[in-house]
A = this chain, B = another copy of it.
Amino acid sequence: MSTTLKFTALLLALSLCRGLRHDYIDNYIDNYIDEVTEEEAELVAQPSKYGSLWPLPQKVQLSEVSFKLTSSSFRIVDAKDSTAGPSCSLLQDAYRRYYEYMFGIAKRQQLNKGRRTGPSELTELQVWITSPDSECDSYPSLTSDESYELSVNQPYAVLKAPKVWGALHGLETFSQLVYEDEYGAKSINSTTISDFPRFAHRGILLDSSRHFLPIKVILANLETMAMNKINVFHWHIVDDQSFPYLSRTFPQLSQQGAYHPYTHVYTPADVKMVIEFARLRGIRVIPEFDTPGHTQSWGKGQPDLLTPCYSGSKPSGTFGPVNPILNTTYDFMSQFFKEISAVFPDAYVHLGGDEVDFTCWKSNPDIQKFMDQQGFGQDYSKLESFYIQKLLDIVTTTEKGYTIWQEVFDNGVKLKPDTVVHVWIGGGSNEEMGKVTAAGYTTILSAPWYLDYISYAQDWQKYYKVEPLNFNGTEAQKKLVIGGEACLWGEYVDATNLTPRLWPRASAVAERLWSAKDVTDINDAFSRLSVHRCRMVDRGIPAEPLFSSYCPHEYKGI
């Protein structure tokens, strides 16, 4: 972490002048401005000495020595001793992808016409997978080694990583080091980087139930996750509103429960494509099938799955949570999760378990009788736990681990030691993190990162300032925090606005979960993130602006 670099050409001319129109902000009739703090107003985009690196690597040594890169000469190649060779299509695909990011598709046509390379030209990035098993054909997991070391120097740059996962991150980092000098020539400075993530689980939740998300949108956002070193796609695939997952075992679920049985479903081929697209970018796909609440759409295609609600002594015609007192329920869940465990390769499945409304259960005389028999009294959380316990046992037989929303833990359900407890309730989330880890469970944090809540001004700063380990607990407890997730619930987002709403706001979370704990300089972050955002735009992603500014190449869509 030494000398200063000039990334002038790539850097934004961020406007220094702040309009005054907001002087009247306090007067504004229904002003929605919660947190336009002075600090936010005062951010000035000085070029960062770390250029546009995002998230910031753990160790960076930059020098002022720079090399040119030309599209005709530059190549990304397997190092001689790499354990991943030309047969590793994950890496070969990545080489192509990053070559195009760096040089653009158009310029790729240029051929090397026997031009001699200059003395200050970098012509090769050698990618060297060092571990006997590169994991090229595996799926990434919670315990994947994502570390890498990058050395940019002549005669060639070297990217060393034990596994392909680290190599993918290193390629992204390398591409972030490339900038255009004042004559438009691609350049890179001599650099040494040693990098690894602070947290192993760095996720984004997308919700394809409240609005159906076309595959194209999901893939574009997986692509963007990789640019931000996010490694988990938490796919909240079904919910009350719709059931777009096309189940081979129970096709009626989407036939009846999707917004449309043909145009608004994910076929097995779609799901496979999402998983493979993610794998090629080092991203795990963790599906969530949330029960016993949030299941209205399940009931449409699976009769008797949901609890019939009563109005007085008669069924009202409406339905509540999954019916926990029928054997058929558990037969269904066994078959269903058997399919899920086969379709989704990740070692974890998210089982939900949040926000169970007891009103319907309370109204149903059969449920009441069952409560009596079981000796639950009027404590319906015991009935909820009864259901969840049986569900967890079912899922355990599929040899999957599970993640559950915090209520399941709060209600005292017996959990496997490797259960991941997902903390999402804002009030008291630090306390909750303390409790969960004190009980010995691993946990992920989402409470401060509900990106569906929007507000005026630069809310990315709020996300950025979160410190996940800021709770009372021992060092051992802190180690149980395996990461976090930014959640973009789907009430107000679909294909029209999801991508700009997610980026670069989720990038703030990405750096918090990847970079060292002491990476907290908000001005430096603003500078790097501003350029990172324009880089995403350059790569075709409509990432929205942080503040008044411009990108050298504005977004081409509308």
Which residues of A line the B interface, CB within 8 A? Answer: 13, 15, 17-21, 23-24, 26-35, 210-212, 214, 216-217, 220-221, 239-242, 259-260, 263-264, 293-294, 296-297, 354-355, 357, 425-429, 447-448, 450, 452-457, 459, 462, 489-501, 537, 541-545, 547-558
Contact = CB atoms under 8 A, between A and B. Distances in A.
Contacts of A501: 497
A492 to B, nearest CB: 6
A548 B429 CA distance: 27
Given A492-B544, A547-B492, A548-B210, A426 B30 contact: yes
Contacts of A425: 24, 27-28
A13 B259 contact: yes
A333 B556 CA distance: 35
B19 A210 contact: yes
B497 A542 contact: yes
Copies of this chain assembled into the complex: 2
Instruction: Tell me what chain A mostly uses at the interface: helix, strand, loop, or mixed.
Output: loop
A493 B555 CA distance: 12
B450 A19 contact: no
A17 B240 contact: yes
Nearest to A216: B558
A554 B495 contact: yes
B491 A547 contact: yes
A423 to B, nearest CB: 11
A214 B545 contact: no
B33 A453 contact: yes
Given A27-B426, A263-B552, A494-B545, 8 more contacts: A20-B355, A27-B428, A28-B427, A214-B555, A217-B558, A454-B455, A495-B554, A497-B500
B355 A240 contact: no
Contacts of A462: 30
Contacts of A490: 548
A543 B496 contact: yes
A157 B530 CA distance: 54
24 contacts: A15-B242, A19-B239, A20-B357, A24-B427, A27-B428, A29-B448, A30-B35, A32-B453, A210-B548, A211-B548, A211-B550, A214-B554, A263-B553, A263-B554, A455-B455, A491-B547, A493-B544, A494-B545, A495-B554, A496-B543, A496-B555, A497-B544, A500-B500, A541-B558
B456 A453 contact: yes
A429 B24 CA distance: 12
A355 B21 contact: yes
Contact of A31 (B240, B355, B426): B426
Given A542-B495, A544-B493, A29 B454 contact: no
A491 B259 contact: no
Closest 9 CB pairs of A and B: A27-B427, A29-B426, A496-B542, A497-B500, A28-B426, A259-B550, A210-B548, A495-B555, A17-B240
A456 B452 contact: yes
Contacts of A354: 21
A454 B492 CA distance: 12
Interface centre among A211, A264, A496 (most CB of B within 10 A): A496
Contacts of A35: 30
Given A24-B427, A240-B19, A211 B455 contact: no
Contacts of A30: 34-35, 426, 448, 453, 462
